[in-house]
Amino acid sequence: MSPTTAIVVGGGFAGVGCAKELARHDVEVTLIDKHNYHQFQPLLYQVATAELATADVARPLRGIFRKEPHVTVRQSEVTAIDAAAGAVTTREGRRYEADYLVLAAGSRPNFFSTPGAEEHAFPLYSVADAERLRSRLFEVFEDADADPRRIDQGALTVVVIGAGATGVETAGAVADLVNDVLPDRYRDLDLHRARIELIDHGPVVLAPFSDKAHAYTAAKLTHAGVHLRLGVGVGEVTPEKVVLGDGTEVLTRVAVWAGGIQAAEAAGLSGLPRGRGGRITAEPDLSVEGLPQVYVVGDVANVPGADGQALPQLGSVALQSGRWAARNIVAHRDGKPTRPFHYKDKGIMAMIGRGAAVAEMGSHHHELHGPVAFAAWLGVHAWLLSGVHERVDAFIAWGWDFLAERRMSSIIDDPEAARIDWGDGPDPDPERDRT
């Protein structure tokens, strides 16, 4: 009897969780991802602000599955999907077919057709995004230090668009950087002129949280120097400024896009029914209607909760749905009925800054604020990191940052890409060291 085979598209939480569970039941898995690493997306903002190194949040997929003989990793981009046949085709023209197909391709930024946003804003949804943002952040400080006139052109203004968890955490981390880290490095730079703007069309920050959390978060951000612009959207992003919906212009060379996500491009390639955010519609057991051997999990899918409504795009939802789909595949293989997905709600949490966080833990969302929530945030995220090595390194980095107020990864790793055209001729100090 030939072994059961499965293709898993995507190496995020959902894909890795699914592949690991399938391998435990002797299913031969081909895991395909355009990157050769698994990234811990909730911590990308810490890479962007130099609190963590890239290696702390990205782990090679082949390393994750080095002891899994049933899992084969292929680094390639899927360019065509034949869901009915359980097959995908990669950019190299290679076709993969299997008994089961699992789409776990994740998400990508949703710019909501905002003019200039895709071209000029910095999203924060991949390791490459985080590295680009980090280089740009430190480049604007270098440029302002070399020529203080740049401050009037927005060199020390950082605009974060979107006040959800990613936006709040990014704004808070940038504030920590400006307040606690950079003064010792840029002694001649007037960092009091630095400005961090957090913009959202909604009336509160961290909308999914409680009113108490809204107030606590707003107060902590404001105290850290973050300026909240709520109830106003973004009309345009240009290389030099962000134009708000009310016509206000904010000069900046760092516009961070945390305004929402949509399904990865693979969702559109599948030809399967899609709903909100372009995500593929999943049946209660995470299969696709009419295709019991095709499963969709994680951020690429609208994963139904107990009430039939789609669950939020969270790492815990992705991981649990990936594992659940694997168990249903095994049940289907064995001629047993599949089971509707049941999500174990771990709650929601967000870091605001050093020593400050909000958390709503468990299915009843018990509220924690301040240092206790900060400790809970550290513990949960360190545990979710893939591998003991990553957990130890992350804790060392966090501890070093917390106690010493330093950032060990504050390098400009792509100087040419980070370099800014200020529109007034050559660099005022072309000999300065950019390394």
- Report the alpha-carbon angle 32-36-42, nearest 5: 100
- Give the pLDDT score at 360: 87
Does this model's pTM top 0.95? My answer is no
**Per-residue pLDDT of the chain in tens (435 residues, 90 and over written 9):** 789 999 999 999 999 999 999 999 999 999 999 999 999 888 899 899 998 888 878 889 999 999 999 999 999 999 999 999 999 999 999 999 999 999 999 999 999 999 999 999 999 999 999 999 999 999 999 999 999 999 999 999 999 999 999 999 999 999 999 998 899 899 999 999 999 999 999 999 999 999 999 999 999 999 999 999 999 999 999 999 999 999 999 999 999 999 999 999 999 999 999 999 999 999 999 999 999 999 999 999 999 998 889 999 988 899 999 999 999 999 999 999 999 999 998 788 888 987 788 988 766 778 888 777 767 766 666 655 555 455 556 555 655 555 455 555 666 766 666 689 998 755 545 444 433
Question: What size, in residues, is the chain?
Answer: 435
CA distance 395 to 377: 12
pLDDT (0 to 100) of residue 44 = 93
Identify any residues that bridge with 185 across adjacent strands, giving them in sequence order.
Answer: none
- Tell how strand 254-257 and strand 122-123 pair up: parallel
Would you state the pLDDT for residue 394? Answer: 59
Q: How far apart are CA 286 and CA 298, in angstroms?
A: 10
> Is 268 within 8 Å of 278 (Cβ atoms)?
yes
pLDDT in tens, 204-245: 999 999 999 999 999 999 999 999 999 999 999 999 999 999
Say what the pLDDT of residue 403 is. 47
Task: Give me the amino acid identity at 167.
Answer: G
Please confirm, yes or no, whether 169 is among the known catalytic residues. Answer: yes
The active-site residue, picked from 51, 131, 139, 169, is: 169
Domains of the chain: 5-34+76-109+261-333 (3.50.50.60), 117-259+347-418 (3.50.50.100)
Q: Which residue has the tokens 């605001």?
A: 352
Report the distance separating Cα 85 and Cα 322, nearest Å: 21
